[in-house]
Chain A
C-alpha cells in the first residue's frame, strides 16, 4: 500500500514536471522546434542577453511584480494588523471582501477592472488614455493584497497578545511595541506573502491581458500575442532562468520558515535573540533593496529626454531582426536618435477600434485595414496627414491611391496589401478538385479542412460562393451565409487564425483559406503547398495603411515614421519578414527575389481587378454577423 502510493506520487511529480523539462531542454536546443532536439548549445542564452526588447519586457514584468508585491506587503500588513483588532462581526465582513478577488475568476477580475478604469478615466474624467502603467499596478496590488493578508493574519492570531502588553508595560510606546515585538512575530508571514505576491504578479497573464494599455506591456501578454511564428527559443532560455530564480526564492522561504520554527523551540522567551535580530535585519534589508530596485527600475524605464513615438501595429507585422531580417524599429531609432519607438500590437481591427474608441490608450501611428480606416475616418478619429513630411509617398504605386476608404488620399499611406485565397497541399488534394471556394465544402477532405476563425473573413467566403456582395447589409443574405457555414462545420478540422501555420506546414490539415502573404511564407517551409485564388468567384483584396489617430501626441515624429516605412529599402526589408505585398514597387529590388517574383504575392493587375475589398458595415450588422457566427460555431 505504502509502496504503491510512493510510486504513484513519483508518477504524479513526473507528470507535473515533464512539460517544464521539455521547455528547459528546448532552451539548450540548436534547432527551433520544441519537438526535436538537434544538438546542444548555449546560444539561446547569449541571444537572450543580447535581445534588448525581450529584456525590457522582462524588466517590465519584474518591475511591476516588485512594486506590486512591495506595496501590497506593506499595505496588507498594515491592514491585517488593523483587521485583527476589529470586532469579530466587522472582521468577518472585511474578510469576505478580501475573499472576493480570491474566489472571482481571473477573467472576471480583469474585465471588471478594465471596465472600471475605462469607465472612470474615459467617460467620467474624459482622459485620452485610461489604461496606463498605474492602472496595471493598481490591478496587481489589488489581486496581491489578499495573499499578503491571508499569510499575515494567522501569524497575528498565533501571537500571544500578552507580548505586546508586556512591551508596553516595560515602557514602549504602542508604535515601538509594534516594531519591536509584533513585527518580529509576523515577519515570516510577511515574507511568505511577499514572495507569493511576487510570483503571482510575475506570472499573471489573464488580468494583465485585459488591463494593459499602450505604454507598458509585460512578458506574458507579449508571449500570448505572438502566435503566428513559433516561440523563439530564447524565451525558453528565459523560462529556465526564471525557473532557477523561483527555485531559489522558494528555498529561501522554506529556510526562513524552518529557522523560525527552530528558533521558536529553542528560545521562546527571548524575543530579541541573535537569530531574530538577524532575521529582522535581513528582512528589512531585503524589503528595502526590493523597493530601491523597484524605484530604480521605474526611473530607468521612465528616463526620456527624447520623443516617444507609440506605434500600434498588428502582431508580428514588422521585421524585428529575427531570422536574419532587418530590425526595422532599431534602424529607425538609429536614423533618428531623438525618437524612441514604443511598439505595441493588436490582434484584430476590432481590438484596435475598441481600444481607440474607449480611450484606453494613446498612440501616434496605427495600421488598420481598409474598412476600419473608413470607419475611423467617418467617426472623426483620424488626423489629416501633412504630406510635405512624407515625400516618399510619391514612390507608392498609383494603383494603391484613391481607394474607396480614403478617396482624396488625405488620411492614409499604404503599408501592405494582399489577397485572400486557398492554400492546399498538392500531395493530398487532387488538382481537379481545386476549382473554387467549393473546395472548402468538399466532403472528400472531411476533417482536413480549416476555416477562418473570424466572422468577416468566414462570411466573405460564403458570400463569394453564394454570389452575394461581401458588403451586404441584407440580413436574409447573411442568414443564408450562416446556413452555408453551418453546412460546412461537420467536415472542418478546426477554426483557426495563426495556428494555420503549424497545421498546414506539418500536413495535419490539407486545405485552408488564408492571406496570400502568410500562404507564401508557409510555402517556403513546405514545398508541397500551393496557393489558389478563385478569380471567377471573386476574392477579398485588402490594403493595410498607416494612419495617425486624433489622440496622437507626436505628429511630426509619426509622419517621419510613415515616410521611413515608404523608403523602398526599408519596405523591401520589411516584406522579407511579413511576406505581404509592398505598395512601393521599387521595394522589389530590395527584397528576397523569391518574394519579388512570386505571383502569389504579386498577381497580375488583370487578376487583381476581380478582387473586392471590405467596406465598413454598420455596427448593428457587424454585431449581427458576429452573433450568427457564434451560432455556427456553437452548432
Chain B
C-alpha cells in the first residue's frame, strides 16, 4: 500500500525528468551525428571538432585557474563564517548567497565599467597621477570575472563541510600537542576535502561553459568553448556542429564530476546551494 503510493507520487516526476532531461540529450546526440544540409547520418561534425581543440584547452585552463583561485580565496572566508555564532553565520551565509541571485549580466557589465580603459579604476589611477593600465581585454580580466561570479559556489559548500567538523577533534589534537598549523593540516584540512571537491566542481562547471564573461571582459585571444557554441547556434546557423561541441563539453563535465565523486564519496557533499 505504502509502496504503491510512493510509486504513484514519484512516477510523474520520473517521467518529466526523462522527457525533459534525458531525451533532450539524445536529441543533441542526434543533431551531432547528422549533416546540417541533408540531415543524413555523418561523422563530419565530430571530425570538425579538432578545430576547436585550442579553444577547449583554453577554457579548461582558465576555469581550472579560476577554481583554484576561488579555493584559495574562499577557504579562509568559509572557515571564518563557520566559526561565528549561529545567527552571525546565518547572516554571513545570506550575504554570500545574495550576489548569486542578482543579474549575472549586469554584474558583469559593472566589471566592464570598473576595468575598461576609461573605467572607474583607471580614472582613479589617473586622478592620483598614476598611468592608466590595460585591465580589460586580457586573460586576467576573464579569470577575474569567473572568480567573481563563481566564488560563492566555492564558499557555500566549504562552509557546509567546515561547520560540521566536530570541535572535539580539534581539541583532542591540541591536547595531544599539535601546533595550530598542524591542527589545520592534519585535522581540519583533511576533513574539509569533500567540501573542496564539490566547491571546485561547482566553480569549474559553470566557468568552463560560460559565454558572456569572455565576450565582455576578454580580448582577441580569449575565445572560450561557450562562445564557440553560442556562435554556432546563433550566428553560423550550424546547430549540428554546435550540438557536437555541446556533447564534448558535457562529456568533459561528467568526467570531471565523476572524478570528483570518486575522490569524495560523501553523499551529501555535492549539492548545497
Contacts and interface: CB of A to CB of B under 8 A. Distances in A.
Contact of A19 (B17, B23, B148): B148
B36 interface: yes
B152 A16 contact: yes
Interface residues of B, number: 106
A506 B137 CA distance: 15
A116 B12 contact: no
Interface in A233-286: 235-236, 239, 242-243, 246-247, 250-251, 254, 257-258
Contact of B237 (A20, A82, A200, A350): A350
A205 B104 contact: yes
Contacts, number: 287
A22 B81 contact: no
B269 to A, nearest CB: 13
Contacts of A147: 273
Given A111-B242, A113-B20, A626-B236, A79 B250 contact: no
B41 interface: no
Contact of A22 (B113, B220, B268): B113
A502 interface: yes
A246 B98 contact: yes
B118 A35 contact: yes
A205 B226 CA distance: 14
Nearest to B28: A112
A98 B234 CA distance: 29
A502 B116 contact: yes
Contacts of B110: 18-20, 22-23, 34
A1 B209 CA distance: 37
A203 B102 contact: yes
Given A78-B9, A493-B220, A250 B105 contact: no
Contacts of A455: 236
A552 interface: no
A100 B102 contact: no
Contacts of A84: 6
Contacts of A1: 180
A246 B220 contact: no
The residue in A15, A147, A250, A257 that gathers the most chain B C-beta atoms within 10 A of its C-beta is A250
A79 B13 contact: yes
Interface string A485-525: 00001001111000000100010100000000000000000
A623 B238 contact: yes
Interface stretch (B71-79, B169-177, B185-193): B71-79
B37 interface: yes
Contacts of B14: 94, 97
A36 B116 CA distance: 13
A351 B234 CA distance: 5
B163 interface: no
Interface residues of A, number: 108
Contact of B28 (A82, A83, A108, A354): A108
A105 interface: yes
The residue in A94, A258, A350 that gathers the most chain B C-beta atoms within 10 A of its C-beta is A350
A55 interface: no
Nearest to A150: B271
A620 interface: yes
A620 B37 contact: yes
Contacts of B18: 97
Contacts of A83: 6, 10, 13
A342 interface: no
Interface of A is mostly: helix
A258 B90 contact: yes
A627 interface: yes
A335 interface: no
A5 B9 contact: no
B206 A5 contact: no
Nearest to A78: B9
A395 interface: no
Interface in B1-39: 2-3, 5-14, 16-18, 20-25, 27-28, 30-31, 36-37
Contacts of A495: 220
A86 interface: yes
B151 interface: yes
A179 interface: no
Nearest to A195: B101
A306 interface: no
A97 B17 contact: yes
Given A20-B107, A103-B205, A82 B8 contact: yes
Q: Across chains A and B, which 8 residue pairs bring their CB atoms closest together, nearest first? A: A82-B9, A85-B6, A82-B10, A79-B13, A105-B209, A112-B24, A19-B110, A34-B113
Interface of B: 2-3, 5-14, 16-18, 20-25, 27-28, 30-31, 36-37, 48, 51-52, 54-55, 73-74, 76-77, 79-81, 87, 90-91, 94-111, 113-114, 116-120, 123, 137, 148, 151-152, 180, 201, 205-206, 208-209, 211-212, 219-220, 223, 226, 228-230, 233-239, 242-243, 246, 249-250, 253-254, 257, 268, 270-271, 273
13 contacts: A82-B6, A82-B11, A97-B21, A99-B270, A101-B21, A108-B28, A111-B233, A150-B271, A250-B94, A254-B90, A258-B90, A354-B237, A508-B116
